Structures are given as C-alpha cells and as structure tokens.
Amino acid sequence: MADAVQERPASRPRGDLRTWLARLAAREDVQRWASALPFTRGRVRREGEALMDLVSGFVQSQALLALVELDVIGALMDGPRAPAALARAADVPEDRMAALLQAGAAMGLLHRRSDGRFAVRPRGAALVGVPGLVPMIRHHGAFYRDMADPVALLRGESETELAQVWPYVFGAREGLHPATARAYSDLMTQSQGLVAQDALRMVPLRGVRRLLDVGGGTGAFLRAAAARHPGLELALFDLPEVIDEARGQMSAAGLEARTRFHPGSFRDAPLPQGADAISLIRVLYDHEDATVRDLLAKAHAALPPGGTLVVAEPMSGGDRPDRATDIYFAFYTMAMRTGRVRSAARIAEMVAEAGFEEIRVPRAARPYVTGALSAVRRS
C-alpha cells in the first residue's frame, strides 16, 4: 500500500498562474464585478480601450489613408480650417469630411478647436514631414488586400499582390519592368533616410576606407555614409535596372566619381572584392534562410581579414515581442511570400555560421525604424 502511494503522481494545478488569471478574466461575471470596483475599474477600462483599439485598427488605417489621399493634413499645414472649406476642396460631403477630421483628431493627428475648425498636431506634422511615411501609406493598398483573408495568408493559400509588387525578391533579373524597379527604388530611397541615420549612429564606420552596399537601391545609405565620412570610397551592388537609376541619384548628389557601380544579382554571382566593409541594409528580411546563408557566406568571402559586416533592418523582438516588427513587418514579409523578420539573436547566429566574429548588437533607439548588427571577418 505504501509503495502504491509513493508511485501515485503528484497532483498538478491545471495551468500556471497566468493561465488561471486569463480564464478568470474571460468570465463575464468577473468582468462585470471588476468594472464596478474602484480599485479595478481603471485597469478594466484601460484594457477595454486597448482591445477596442485592436478591433478598430483596420478602420484607423483606412481613415489614415483617406487623410493622405485627400491631402487634408497638407492643407491644414497652412493654418486651421473649417470642415466645410476642406470638404469643398476635396469634393467630399461636409458631414463626411467632418467625420474624417474627427477621426484624425481621435488618432492624435489633428486638434479640434473650440471654434469648430481643425488644426495639425505635431504627430500629424511628422506624418507629412518624415521621409517615406506618406508613400508607405499609399503603398499599403496591396498589403491591405493581401491581409483581407489572414487565415488564407497564414496557410499559404492565397496569391498575394505584394509578391507581384516586389518580384526582385524571387531573383527577377532579366525583364524586370523599369516601372517596377523605379517604384521599388523610390519607396526605398524615401524610407531609408531614417534607417541610414539610425544605423550609422549604432554602427559608426570609423576606420573604413571603402564601403560596398549590397542591394543598396539608388544609394540612399551610401549618400548618408558619405555625408558623415567625406573620405569614404563608395561601391554599390544591385540589379542592373536599379543601378541605372542609382547613377543618376549619385550624380545629382555629386558622388558619382566616388562611387563604383556593380550591376548583378547576389543570387548567382560572387560579391565584388576590394571593400573593407559590406553593408546589408534592409536586405536579409526580404529572403528565406537559404538565400541569407548564401549571401552571408559571399560577404565573408569578399571581405579581407579585419573587414566589417553591417546589417540593418527591422528585427523581431524575439523573447520580448515587439509591436512594430512582430506585427507589421512579420506579416508584410509573409505577404511578399518570401523572407521573414528575424530577431537579432537569430541574425547573429547566422552571421557566426558564415564565419564572422566579434558580433555586436547595439541597442536600437527606434526599433520600428531599424535594428543593427556588426561583425568582423578575422580569417
């Protein structure tokens, strides 16, 4: 009998404390009770508001698009205006323009004055002032349609528009339509200004003589690096159709003579040698693991001993999920049907597998803009 008692497995609670609390919070009677008590109703209200914010998120994104497409914030940059005046300019019924303005104020973009006119808040001004934000919002039409059936997207059952918008990620080279290359280049150029600023703060290029930017588009990162380091020699590697546009933009910036242009695809060619630093700015997250491993190996082969690798892109929060990268960028790459958002730890692991050492992951000031990582080839 004693042996039988000893062999009986110890009873275990059903789930941990978090699970128990979650089940408790899901009960209607508990919600009703908690919303009435002075010491819990504030938390219940905040949780309810947060849930409603999630539920209404898709409406907010579309109202934001309407504000952009109708240039409402741009019009208000000249001073406060009444709904009627904005309605006439936008050819929208006044009551509906008033509803849009009210939504803009609720999102913190606009301010409703006591006289009924609306003005721009700093957040709204930043929306039109930060490079790349407005083109990004306009570009969201395809992404929004791809997210219309998120279950089909997760199961890989849907053909996505973003996969057609960015065919380069599948290795498109010959026959890439110039308009497609131009659209990609324009969006990347406008959005990479902030990325370059943050990346160069996190990974200074002190001591670097020549920088090769792989997948560098029209050279936005190289131009930012050149501004900080006047003696830096520049090199750009990208698809031929992109290189054509890059020459013009580097020439306009007075940097064509300092820049070597290398047309090609890293999928089927080695990287050019001669640089002592290689940057991969928003490149890895566009591609699957096999392509990334191959690219990192080519970067290692192209660098001399002591050469530096720089990676900058949105990075998953890993064990501390991040709202921007683990929602927006994770599903964006899913809709592209290639690539993925990786944590800094995962990227560091892949970089180490390629043979790099002295891997550093500096703290990101704005993770929603970019994370960064640097590493050194020692042998």
Confidence of residue 8 (pLDDT cuts 50, 70, 90): very low
Q: Tell me what pLDDT residue 183 has.
A: 58
Q: How much of the chain exceeds pLDDT 90, in percent?
A: 66
33-42, 68-77, 283-292, 359-368: lowest mean pLDDT where? 33-42
57-129 against 141-376: fold identical: no
For the ranges 33-42, 50-59, 199-208, the maximum mean pLDDT occurs at 199-208
Higher pLDDT among residues 217 and 173, named by residue: 217
88-102, 162-176, 256-270: lowest mean pLDDT where? 162-176
pLDDT digits (tens, 9 = 90+) for 83-94: 999 999 999 999
Q: Tell me what pLDDT residue 2 has.
A: 39
Q: Which pTM value belongs to this model?
A: 0.83
Strands 277-281 and 210-214: parallel
Architecture of domain 57-129: Orthogonal Bundle (1.10)
* Pairwise CA distance, residues 255 & 89, whole Å: 42
Confidence check: pLDDT of 307 > 80:
yes
* Pairwise CA distance, residues 276 & 376, whole Å: 10
Confidence of residue 358 (pLDDT cuts 50, 70, 90): very high
Span 52-61, average pLDDT: 92
Q: Tell me what pLDDT residue 12 has.
A: 46
Higher pLDDT among residues 172 and 283, named by residue: 283
Confidence check: pLDDT of 168 > 50:
yes
68-77, 130-139, 178-187: lowest mean pLDDT where? 178-187
* Pairwise CA distance, residues 142 & 164, whole Å: 9
Confidence check: pLDDT of 47 > 50:
yes
Confidence of residue 28 (pLDDT cuts 50, 70, 90): confident
Confidence of residue 264 (pLDDT cuts 50, 70, 90): very high
Q: Tell me what pLDDT residue 190 has.
A: 67
Q: Are 363 and 318 contacting, i.e. CB atoms less than 8 angstroms apart? A: no
209 token code pair: 């003589």
* Pairwise CA distance, residues 38 & 28, whole Å: 18
Q: Residue 215 gets which letter from DSSP?
A: T
Is residue 132 left, alpha or beta, with left meaning phi > 0 and alpha meaning psi from -120 to 50?
left
Confidence check: pLDDT of 282 > 50:
yes
Q: Tell me what pLDDT residue 132 has.
A: 79
Higher pLDDT among residues 133 and 149, named by residue: 149
171-185, 285-299, 339-353, 359-373: lowest mean pLDDT where? 171-185
- What are the residue boundaries of the structural domains of the chain, listed by start? 57-129, 141-376
* Pairwise CA distance, residues 137 & 71, whole Å: 12
Confidence check: pLDDT of 166 > 80:
no
Confidence of residue 9 (pLDDT cuts 50, 70, 90): very low
Architecture of domain 141-376: 3-Layer(aba) Sandwich (3.40)
52 token code pair: 């409603």
